[in-house]
Amino acid sequence: MTPRNLGPIALLKRLIAARRGDVRAMEDVYHLRGVLTVIAVFLATIGLPGLMLVYYGVVGIRADELALAADVRRRADAASAEFKSAVETQFSTFQNTALSRLTSGQSVHVGQKELSDVLRVAFGFDGDGNLAEPFLSGAGVDPREDQAFLLFDEWREAQSAEREGLWERAATLYAQAARQTHTRRDRARCVYNRARALDRAGLGREAEGTWQQLVDEPARDLYGFRIGDLARLQLAQSRLKRDPAGGQEDLKALAEAVLTQPWEIGRGGEGAVARRAIELLPNSDWTARARGRVDERSAQLYWAERLQPELDTLGAKGRLLRAEPGTFVYMRTDSAVWAMTWTESEQYAFGLDLRRLLDRYRVMAAAAGGPDGDIRATLVGPDAVAPSSVLSRGSLAPWLPNWSFVVTARDPAGLAEQQADQRRRGLGIIFLSLTMILVGTVASTRLVRRELDAARDKSDFAAHVSHELRSPLTQIRLKAEALQLGLATDDVSRSRHYDVIVRESERLSRLVDNILDFSAIEKGKKKYTFRIGDLGLTVARCVEQAGVAMETKTMTIDFELPDDLPVIWHDADAVSQVVINLLSNAAKYGQQSAWIGVRVYVSGDPDGSGRKSGEICVAVSDRGIGIAPAEQKQVFDQYYRSTDPLARSKKGTGIGLTIVRYIMEAHGGRVGIESAPGVGSTFTLHFPLSFVPPS
């Protein structure tokens, strides 16, 4: 089996056999070491690193994509967590402050702005779930009752007396009316008007006495004022005239009392009484503060009127009472978020402005994604269509159930583009690696093939050499033994035996010369001894030698040598070996024609001025089997032997022409070939005249 035919499995078997000491296998493996080295180098430098690059390219693409997605998702989660914690902080601050105020007994309507800037109104309920502070529900009066009261005869008469300026009569009529009324409220209304009529009539003392009776009266007049408050206002005004300091004290006390007591929703008289009392006082810090408090309370009343009906729709009174004290429950109506809480005995509802709250969260959401970040946060309500491809979502429960903070990619296409970019980069690496592997594989395959050829040639060479050595030795030994034993009885047969011995010895010595020379040439150790001399003489000696040599003795050698051949630098021994190799090939492959032509001539311009540009040519021709054009270059390669069966039938080693080429190169020349199969061949040696050996 030649190494070229070794498949991977056969090669493996050989390797195993070689390790076990099989000599033949060891020889094969020895010849194949070049191939194995190329394969190992390829794997180490290109194959494995390339495959690793491909692997990491594939893994890298996936990892990069995941990392990008994870990074965006992480930032989205962080934004939504941050948002939620900001909201949580706001509400927990609100809750804690509210609770501590309530437990320290502070009224819910004081300092609402500081509690939360979106807090519009706060309600306190009594144990039965009725509004208790700072507002009462305006359930009190049925308008029809007031209508009936206005039509009441004594009342109408008293009113017309007043219009006519008959103040005393009016006072009497009001006293009568008071006696006719059925309810405490209506009586109080009549008594109050009587006091006013008395005052107008100039009966100040009686008037004061009458108002004094009414100072604790909680009932309201037809305009919604508490009659008790009005009576106190009148008394304070009267006192102001006699005793300004005392009167001012009374007015302050009145304003303070009005601001502290619960106001009635839907009536609004309290604010006017307090304002009037403050107006009557000289301006001071106290009046400025008190005016501010009245304004704040009036604004709360405005919101209380708007929001209380919404609170009623929750119908949560009973439910709230069952909840745990100190905790908060959130509920939402059309325009408010209600924070409900309670102490042991009372419950409270804080109405936060829903619109303002949402506006604030929208601003926070817009800031959360950053102005040009790749994520965007929005606030999504119960009615909104949820955006697609949500990256993170944070619910606003319990404060705003059904509302959530939603983070999406600002530009999903951009994100995909970024991922595609990374994928392209990864694919680029993979493509490069694969190209590298491909190029490496092609190059390595060529190298492997060349190494295989070399291995085969070396293997063939070894076989040929051993055969070439053995066959002349066998011949010599057989013939010598025959002579020794006297088996050749007559002169003719003895002479034939001697001829064989001489011919085979010549062959043997030529072979040994060639092998030794080749080995020296291969190692770069061939030594040349250049001398200036007559090349024609050297060639002539070879031709002469061929004439007597057994192999060529019977052949016709046409030798042409010009007389005036210039002398040139050459190594006569080396040139002889070249010429003898060519002559020997001409004899070997010259077939039956038995003709060899040797022609020495000068070519170029030997006689002209450029004499040195010419060359001496030595052409050795035969009329033998010839060489196919495709093989004409290869015959000079080491170990190369023609594939033509005719040529193969001749013994040979494939190094003769290689030596010729090397020696010609050492002389600065070359060897040319002209050949046609079946016609013959001419090998021409070109020795340049200009050649000077290296010193």
**Closest CB to ligand ADP among residues 177, 625:** 625
- Residue in 681, 684, 686, 688 binding ligand ADP, rule: CB under 6 A: 681
Provide the β-strand partners of residue 15: none
What region does 96 belong to: left with phi over 0, alpha with psi -120 to 50, or beta? alpha
Please tell me whether residue 656 binds ligand ADP under the rule CB under 6 A.
yes
Question: Whose CA is closest to 120, among 348, 340, 356, 364?
Answer: 356
Paired tokens of 581: 């190799």
> Given the rule CB under 6 A, which of 71-79, 98-106, 202-210, 652-660 is the region that contacts ligand ADP?
652-660
One of 124, 614, 652, 688 touching ligand ADP (CB under 6 A) = 652
- Residue among 361 and 639 whose Cβ is closer to ligand ADP: 639
Task: Figure out which of the listed residues 276, 623, 641, 667 binds ligand ADP, where binding follows CB under 6 A.
Answer: 641
Q: Which stretch binds ligand ADP (CB under 6 A): 256-264, 328-336, 392-400, 635-643?
A: 635-643
Site string for ligand ADP, 285-324 (x = CB under 6 A): ----------------------------------------
Handedness of CA 293, 299, 302, 304 (dihedral sign): negative
Choices 345-353, 403-411, 469-477, 636-644; region in contact with ligand ADP by CB under 6 A: 636-644
User: Judged by CB under 6 A, does residue 627 bind ligand ADP?
Assistant: yes
Of 654 and 688, nearer to ligand ADP (C-beta) is 654
Burial class (CB in 10 A: 0-12, 13-18, 19+), 347: buried
3-state secondary structure of 250: helix
Q: Is 472 in the site for ligand ADP (CB under 6 A)?
A: no
Options 266-274, 387-395, 527-535, 622-630: segment touching ligand ADP (CB under 6 A): 622-630
List of E strands, 128-175: 131-133, 135-136
Name the minimum Å distance from CB 660 to ligand ADP.
8
Shortest spacing between CB 494 and ligand ADP, in angstroms? 31
Residue 619 bridge partners (DSSP): 599, 684
Q: Which stretch binds ligand ADP (CB under 6 A): 10-18, 63-71, 552-560, 654-662?
A: 654-662
Interface segment toward ligand ADP; rule CB under 6 A; list 75-83, 267-275, 373-381, 653-661: 653-661
User: What are the b/e assignments for 311-338, b being 16+ CB within 10 Å?
Assistant: beeeebbeebeeeeeeebbbbbbebbbb
Which is closer to ligand ADP, CB of 294 or CB of 635? 635
Q: Which is nearer to ligand ADP, 73 or 661 (CB)?
A: 661
635 binds ligand ADP (CB under 6 A): yes
| Site for ligand ADP contains 686 (CB under 6 A) | no
Q: Minimal distance in Å, beta carbon 521 to ligand ADP? A: 13
Size of the site for ligand ADP (CB under 6 A): 21
**C-alpha–C-alpha distance, residues 401 and 403, integer Å:** 5
Among 248, 404, 653, 684, binds ligand ADP (CB under 6 A): 653
Quote the strand ranges of 396-530, DSSP E. 404-409
Distances (CA, A) of 395 to 25, 92, 563: 78, 16, 116
Residues in the chain: 695
Q: Least distance in Å: CB of 626 to ligand ADP?
A: 6
- 622 lines the binding site for ligand ADP (CB under 6 A): yes
**Touching ligand ADP, residues 550-589 (CB under 6 A):** 585-586, 589
Q: Is 684 in the site for ligand ADP (CB under 6 A)?
A: no
How far is residue 684's CA from residue 674's CA, in Å, rounded to a whole number? Answer: 8
Number of H helices and E strands in the chain, helices first, is: 22, 17
Based on CB atoms, which residue is closest to ligand ADP, 167 or 639? 639
Please report how close the Cβ of residue 542 comes to ligand ADP at its closest, in angstroms. 15
Among the listed ranges 69-77, 515-523, 606-614, 620-628, the one in contact with ligand ADP (CB under 6 A) is: 620-628
Q: Which is nearer to ligand ADP, 335 or 471 (CB)?
A: 471
Q: How far is the CB of 621 from ligand ADP (least distance, A)?
A: 9
Q: Long-range contacts for 94-97 (Cβ within 8 Å, ≥24 apart)? A: 94/119, 94/339, 94/350, 95/328, 95/339, 95/341
| Complex with ligand ADP: residue 366 or 508, whichever CB lies closer | 508
From the list 24-32, 281-289, 501-509, 655-663, the region that binds ligand ADP by CB under 6 A is 655-663
Which of 197/625 has CB closer to ligand ADP?
625
Using the rule CB under 6 A, give the single segment among 63-71, 152-160, 237-245, 638-646 that binds ligand ADP: 638-646
Alpha-carbon distance of 639 to 456, in angstroms, equals 9
Single out the residue of 594, 603, 525 nearest to residue 553, CA to CA. Answer: 594
CB of residue 464 to ligand ADP, shortest distance in Å = 7
579 Cβ contact list (under 8 Å, min separation 6): 538, 539, 542, 543, 598, 618, 620, 685
Task: Confirm if 663 and 574 have CB atoms less than 8 A apart.
Answer: yes
CB of 558 to ligand ADP, least distance (A): 15
What backbone torsions phi and psi does residue 416 show, to the nearest 5 degrees?
-60, -40
HEC letters along 299-345: HHHHHHHHHHHHHHHHCCHHHHHHCCCCCCEEEECCCEEEEEEECCC
Alpha-carbon distance 629 to 157, whole Å?
A: 151
Segment near ligand ADP (CB under 6 A); pick from 233-241, 386-394, 488-496, 646-654 = 646-654
Q: Which is nearer to ligand ADP, 404 or 514 (CB)?
A: 514
Give the strand order in the sheet containing 375-380.
375-380, 404-409, 390-395
> For ligand ADP, which residue of 614, 654, 668, 688 counts as binding (CB under 6 A)?
654
Write down the least CB distance from residue 16 to ligand ADP, Å: 35
Q: How many C-beta atoms surround the C-beta of residue 429 within 10 A?
A: 16
Task: Determine the residue type at 72.
Answer: V
Cα distances from 350 to residues 51, 85, 330, 331, in angstroms, run: 69, 21, 10, 10
Decide: is 619 part of the binding site for ligand ADP (CB under 6 A).
Answer: no
Name the one range near ligand ADP by CB under 6 A: 59-67, 153-161, 557-565, 641-649.
641-649
Which of 625, 663, 685, 689 forms a contact with ligand ADP (CB under 6 A)?
625
Element (H, E) at 349: strand 347-353
Rule CB under 6 A: say whether 457 interacts with ligand ADP: no
Residues that bind ligand ADP (CB under 6 A): 585-586, 589, 622, 624-627, 635, 640-642, 647, 652-658, 681
